[in-house]
């Protein structure tokens, strides 16, 4: 499977995300494995496309996210690069946990569940062992980065 080239990716973060969304909607198998170097992550990573309902607009909102498989679900992290506020997709899921995910060619409804306590700690250890950058994000974030299980329904 080919990975989109780093050289072909726009340099602006909004363009990068927009291009990844477009690729996921048109060629989900190709979009699944993504070169995340333009956004500061290590090389090719597995991504999914999350579709939430905008809490203000009521409209569908797409966002590509790195994920980690977890007990039949998909873990996504609300890191926003270690910024002080939560990402919009996380706020949308807090308002309405019903969502849709696309993982390569799989397209399914899902329900979001924020992990807490020991379950979050175990998941966080799994995440940071695989993707070290999340430990750096947490170190600079003035909040606990949420870990969300997207559970297919």
The stretch 40-58 carries a mean pLDDT of: 91
- 26 occurs within a structural domain: yes
Task: Report the pLDDT value the prediction gives residue 150, as an integer from 0 to 100.
Answer: 98
Predicted TM-score of the model (pTM): 0.89
Q: Tokens 């909607």 sit at which residue?
A: 25
Q: What is the pLDDT confidence band of residue 11, given thresholds at 50, 70 and 90?
A: low
- 43 occurs within a structural domain: yes
What's the CA angle centered on 18, arms 45 and 105, to 5 degrees? 50
Domain at 58, CATH number = 2.30.110.10
Strand partners for 5: none
Domain count, the chain: 1
**pLDDT over 70 at 4, yes or no:** no
Name the token pair of 149.
């299980």
Strand partners for 111: 98, 151
Task: Report the pLDDT value the prediction gives residue 53, as an integer from 0 to 100.
Answer: 98
Strand partners for 147: 77
- 1 occurs within a structural domain: no
Task: Report the pLDDT value the prediction gives residue 37, as an integer from 0 to 100.
Answer: 78
Rounded (10°) angle between helices 117-130 and 133-140: 120
The parent domain of residue 143 ranges over: 6-152
Model pLDDT for residues 74-133, shown as the tens digit of each residue: 999 999 988 999 999 999 999 999 999 999 999 999 999 999 999 999 999 999 999 988
DSSP string covering 28-66: HHHHHEEE-GGGTS-SEEEEEEEEEE-TTT-SEEEEEEE
């Amino acid at each position: 499977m080919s990975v989109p080239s780093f050289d072909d990716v726009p340099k602006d973060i909004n363009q990068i995300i927009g291009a990844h969304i477009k690729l996921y909607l048109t060629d989900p198998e190709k979009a699944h494995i993504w070169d995340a170097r333009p956004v500061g992550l290590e090389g090719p990573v597995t991504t999914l496309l999350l579709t939430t309902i905008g809490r203000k607009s009521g409209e569908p909102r797409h966002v590509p996210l790195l994920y980690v498989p977890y007990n039949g679900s998909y873990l996504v992290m609300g890191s926003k690069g270690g910024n002080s506020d939560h990402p919009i997709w996380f706020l949308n899921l807090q308002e309405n946990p019903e969502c849709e995910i696309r993982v390569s060619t799989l397209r399914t409804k899902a329900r979001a569940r924020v992990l807490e306590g020991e379950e979050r700690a175990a998941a966080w250890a799994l995440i940071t062992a695989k993707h070290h950058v999340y430990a750096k994000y947490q170190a600079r974030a003035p909040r606990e980065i949420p870990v969300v299980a997207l559970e297919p329904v």
